[in-house]
Copies of this chain bind each other. A is one copy, B any other.
Amino acid sequence: MPGQTFSIDLNSDVGESFGAYRIGADEDLFPLISSANVACGFHGGDPRVMERTVTTLARKGVAIGAHPGFPDIPGFGRREMHLSPEEIRTDVMYQIGALKVFCDAAGVPLHHVKPHGAMYNMAAKDREMARAIAQAVINAAPTAMIYAQAGTEMAHAAENLGLRVAYEVFADRAYLANGLLVPRSQGGAVIHDAEDVGARIISMTRGEPIATIDGAPIMLRADTVCVHSDTPQAVAIARAVRSALDVAGIVLRAPE
């Protein structure tokens, strides 16, 4: 298809610093991504960090999403917590509202919502939790997208409630033939080579199948690619990926 231009979104978690504590490499990542998930104070972030992050992202034209998490700063939102649907729904609404005020003040829309850490993982499988999160988005930011893996309970819940979903892929993770991620506990679950990662994103962006760990190729719907920010190599990988996309003529663009 000569002349066709493909586009993809790179998203990353940012704004997770807290008080005197610094984490992540936000300033280095900002030029490399097209959308960002901003912590809302429950697992990381604080009102100062939120304001500064939103202001900077707005200036750089990066689309801003809320990144709500469990109320667990000591565990960075990575520990499973069993909350009632009402607790999930209202905790997520609260966090969206808190972030939205900084978007409003910066004159930019709240583009999307992506649950953080253990909440993201649990909501992929837990129908009640997924529904509570989707309901929170309907209540608090009905025009925002949800970032979710295709085929998960989170994606289904968002689809059922009529929310717009951006389907997310993990370019540095191996997939099973059924479209799910290879568990981290298994060998080969994480792809460390930046070139491989870049090549996979390019394939997914062009709608081409990628290899699975089982051998069989698979087609993944990819609207947005998660770029990790929490490893020492994060920025280097992001830079390599970004270069590969530029070379391949793929345009970086937040999903619409």
Which of A20, A44, A75, A95 has the most C-beta atoms of chain B within 10 angstroms of its own C-beta?
A: A20
**A60 proximity list for chain B (CB < 8 A):** none
Q: Considering only CB atoms, which chain B residue lies closest to A77 in the complex?
A: B20
Residues in B with CB closer than 8 Å to A81 are 72, 75, 79-82
Which residues in B have their C-beta under 8 angstroms from that of A75? 19, 81, 83, 87
Q: Within 8 Å of chain B (Cβ to Cβ): is A51? A: yes
Q: Is A211 an interface residue (CB 8 A)?
A: no
> Is A101 in contact with B93, judged by CB distance below 8 angstroms?
yes
Q: Of B50, B73, B91, B102, which contacts A19 at CB under 8 A?
A: B73
A93 in contact with B83 (CB, 8 Å): no
Q: A97-B101, A105-B139 are in contact. Are A90 and B48 (CB under 8 A)?
A: yes
Closest CB in chain B relative to A226 CB, distance in Å: 18
CA distance in complex: A93, B93 (Å): 16
A66-86 vs B, CB cutoff 8 Å, 1 = contact: the mask equals 000001111110111111001
Kindly list chain B residues whose C-beta atoms are within 8 Å of the C-beta of A48: 86-87, 90
Closest B residue to A23 using CB positions: B21
**Does A189 sit at the interface, judged by CB under 8 A?**
no
Partner of A71, one of B74, B76, B78: B74
Interface contact B101-A41, CB-CB below 8 Å = no
A76 CA / B23 CA spacing, docked (Å): 15
Q: Which residue of B lies closest to A49 (CB)?
A: B90
Return chain B residues, CB-CB under 8 Å to A101: 93-94, 96-97, 100, 139-140
| Least CB separation from A45: chain B residue | B94
Using A74-B71, A79-B82, A80-B82 as known contacts, say yes or no to A51 and B98 having CB atoms under 8 A apart. Answer: no
Given A90-B51, A105-B140, decide whether A19 and B74 contact each other with a Cβ distance below 8 A: yes
Given contacts A18-B21, A21-B21, A97-B98, A140 and B104 within 8 Å (CB-CB): yes
Which of A71, A74, A75, A80 has the largest count of B CB atoms less than 10 A from its CB?
A: A74
> What are 9 pairs between A and B in contact, CB < 8 Å?
A20-B76, A50-B94, A72-B81, A75-B81, A80-B81, A93-B101, A100-B100, A100-B101, A101-B139
